Structure 1
């Protein structure tokens, strides 16, 4: 039976379940750059360029293997603009009997594809995506009957399952988690690792020009494109990270610094999420580097926890909680997203730096996302739909399965505690402790109220005042509530007035 095998943009893995039984003599692989996927939100220019170039390189590799590939470029005059449209065209043009694909990562696509068999009037095989450590069925079984979903407990099960950083049944080093050792501020004079450069080849430069032409009104710049677009390049980036940056990753993974866009972070998430690297191979690379004595345990463990702990946990939560998860708004947040999320034009230096990095690279590391742009959105009460769309647009590694729970649950606590047991709310003191941002800021981080006070300071207390009744019963918020109780009504009134005036000014639609 001849088969049309659809490969999605984030499924660039030769061992993809729907490709494992491919017959090069009969089957056809379909890959399509469609406007519907590029614009359902207006993705960052670099994200589109990365995906289109990676898709074209993957198609080329398949063709060199002898596979017949039907590739539809975004500027093909016959391009229908949708995945279903391109599958329909291919089935009409070619003598094929059924369609095979691997399950999409996003709920909206899974819902769309559910009736493809009827609409195409042919069998459609949707294979489970086995590129994760934990299957969706396994996660559902783990979650069943639990009062709350705690990532740490899930992570320990994944360590046992994989054997990563394990000595038999026990964790290497005698404990599971070294997070307490991973919160150091950069020392004075610290020099970040010199990361391996990426020089776009002719095909990628062609794609960059195409994206600039076709998506000129999308967010971001294409001036400094740093993404590898094929597996060999991604593997070189993995080796570069393990050698140069992983040794200091544990100590400085939460650190922030002006002009330091990457520090010791891996820069691998986009490659993992698109399929150029697998989660287990990057984790085993870290494990082997530790066992060889090349990196400290807190670095290897902290990195591995992000992959087989947090990443897998977040995916499980997404599929367990959708579709209703997206509609949750536990804190009744409703303010519009400030224009500076797009322009980087704000006197809050920390926010300006995070947005600049995002604009220039379609990247920001997890602390910039959680404790700068995410923390501001939480404190300001930005509407969940607005901030969720922003995160989905601006990052090259963003797909809804990973973006939504991280933003909705971890950053803005709109899910009311499904992902995190308490909101990650912080004042300017946290930002000052973990960065040098405050030294270059117009505002004074030591000033709590009045002219020149750091907005994060009074917004933090305003957030607690606004949501006081919701947090009174949260044991992990008890210290914050006790500190709030020490403030008299006059001070609370002043906090509320200054916060309201500030937010009314900055929270204007762009």
Structure 2
């Protein structure tokens, strides 16, 4: 019988993949902890630990099912630390005549595997087969074909098509209640911290793994509790988090999904993003589970809570993956505003007098997580106003968040957050003054800077930087129909010169804010 080596990447831990239906002694699965993946950016230590723990759990799952598994730990002597060299070494050692792999989700890995395929086929005579990961609800090229002939990809149009295709929250061909989107009802500020519920966690000791990672020379950022690392790292734990979310958090999720609070980083968010992005659970099973739970609890859970969550999974997540494969690799170099500034040092420490940035950054360093509004309207908003180079932005987001894999990170940062794509993802730049941050959080209440001041020693930097952003980009933005009001307002402001000078002063000492 011909011997086959099948590669499983660290974000391909899909227990329901058709590969695993039956064990075959002639098929060996390969899972690898390698420095190539641990150091392609400066990862959060919790991210590296989570990936390795999840991979190890998956390897044990396969062995229990009777599958042959080769697992490289990071500190194994025979580990070459690169994907390509490990595969080539094993093919020669074990006389594999077939190599199979699942579609990778990152362009970077796609290219590495294409190069490996050429080497295997042309030099070693090994046949190579590529299969789907059986995770996403759309194929790589679906979005580009869906919007063929259009200048932009309108997420709402895509989302409605997905709802109809998968019959989610639908009444025949129409949405339940006749309304597709409840976004305007999901923008409440959290005023009562007693509403908060502790997230479901799975504390485990990881001291030896952290020691092993650092002993190999991997450079990481962030903090970790070596005695109580608490993210889900198995399918069983992930399903438990999903159940907990529905039972304890869903009934307030939509209402407070955009809220920010300095006493809690998670609020009513599910903490499922890492589990989804490494494929321990699938988007369809999450959506169907949440929808079914809601149908049985309509007396206590409003549809707005459920629709807001489903839109993130069925709409936004699939949409962003579609944008990635429609626009890469060019997307990774887009810089519409030609921003060149370096990221201030406090993005690695949280030591800033701006309370909103302090909490968003410190929370990220502590938990490897921040929810979408913290990422978009606090850290991302500031980076855009300050003119930070999108390359720096991408690397920070890609490294600091446990759920950050390039296909979902770069489309959200270089696209939605930084408008570096010039409008492929968003129809306008997402920038704001202190007013929005105060509206959605309690950050401004105890800040060194004053939210209502535009000029002066304690004027909130967001206020002057907001107007400076529009002023310096007038040539690029003035014809955008969604922001014409900003320029009309700026033209009427009597203190415009003083505000712009204040912004220039802040930009000149950006590291000291």
TM-score when normalising by structure 1: 0.96
In structure 2, relative to structure 1, the CA distance for the partners of 1:416 and 1:283 (3 Å cut) is same
**Alignment partner, residue 54 of structure 2:** 54
2:432 is the alignment partner of 1:430: no
Partner of 1:207: 209
User: Superposition pairs for residues 34-45 of structure 1, below 5 Å?
Assistant: 34-45=34-45
Report what 2:172 is aligned to. Answer: 168
| 8 Å contact from structure 1 (residues 6, 101) kept in 2 | yes
Partner of 1:221: 223
**1:147: Cα distance to partner?**
2.8
Q: Is the 8 A contact 1:413 1:420 kept in 2?
A: yes
| Alpha-carbon offset, residue 143 of structure 1 | 1.6
Q: After superposition, give the CA deviation of every residue in 1:143-197 in whole Å (9 maximum; x if it has no partner).
A: 2112321000000000011111111111112110000100011123443112223
The match for 1:383 is 389
State how far apart, in whole Å, the 2-side matches of 1:273 and 1:248 are.
Answer: 24
Report the alpha carbon displacement of residue 270 of structure 1 after superposing the two structures with TM. Answer: 0.5
On the 8 A contact 1:45/1:215 being kept in 2, the answer is no
Question: Which of 357, 361, 367 is matched with 1:361 structurally?
Answer: 367
Change (3 A) 1:238 1:208: farther
Q: Is the 8 A contact 1:31 1:72 kept in 2?
A: yes
Question: Which of 255, 258, 264 matches 2:259?
Answer: 255
Distance in 1 separating the partners of 2:348 and 2:504: 22
Shift of 1:492: 3.1
2:380 maps to which of 374, 383, 389? 374
> Does the 8 Å contact 1:28/1:68 carry over to 2?
yes
- Residues 411-490 of structure 1 correspond to what in structure 2 (within 5 A)? 411-488=417-494
> For 1:199-228, what per-residue CA distance to the aligned partner results, in whole angstroms no more than 9, with x for missing partners?
216xx5542442354457410111252211
Query: Secondary structure at the residue paired with 1:154?
Result: helix
What is the CA–CA distance in structure 2 between the aligned matches of 1:176 and 1:370, rounded to whole Å? 23
* CA deviation after TM superposition for structure 1 residue 281, in Å: 1.0
Of stretches 278-287 and 187-196 in structure 1, the one that deviates more from structure 2 is 187-196
Deviates more, 1:244-253 or 1:126-135: 126-135
Q: Which residue is equivalent to 1:243?
A: 247
Aligned position for 1:494: 498
Q: Is the 8 A contact 2:5 2:98 kept in 1?
A: yes
Number of the residue aligned with 1:188: 192
Alpha-carbon deviations, 1:342-385, whole Å to 9, x = none?
01000001001001111011111001000000000011110000
Q: Distance in 2 between matches of 1:5 and 1:506?
A: 49
> 1:81 and 1:504 mapped to 2: Cα distance?
43
TM-score w.r.t. the length of structure 2 is 0.95
Aligned runs of 1:295-306 on 2, under 5 Å?
295-306=301-312
Instruction: Tell me, yes or no, if the aligned pair for 2:46 and 2:222 is still in contact at 8 Å.
Output: yes
Q: Which residue of 2 aligns with 1:68?
A: 68
SS of the equivalent of 1:287 reads helix
Distance in 2 separating the partners of 1:215 and 1:274: 24
Shift of residue 23, structure 1, vs aligned partner: 4.5
CA distance in 2, matches of 1:461, 1:257: 26
The gaps in structure 1 that reach 5 residues or longer are none
Partner of 1:79: 79
Is the Cα contact below 8 Å between 1:335 and 1:507 reproduced in 2?
no
Q: Is the 8 A contact 1:116 1:124 kept in 2?
A: no
Say which is worse superposed, 478-487 or 204-213, in terms of deviation.
204-213
User: What SS does the aligned partner of 2:398 have?
Assistant: helix
Question: Which of 142, 148, 153 is matched with 1:144 structurally?
Answer: 148
3-state SS of 2:58 partner: helix
Contact 2:38 2:218 in 1 (8 A): no
The unaligned stretches of length 5 or more in structure 2 are none
CA deviations over 1:308-356 (Å, ceiling 9, x no partner): 1000000000110011111111111111000111010000010010011
Task: Say whether residues 1:406 and 2:407 are aligned partners.
Answer: no
| CA shift in 2, pair 1:212/1:237, >3 Å | farther
SS of 1:475's partner is coil
TM-superposed deviation, 1:137: 3.1
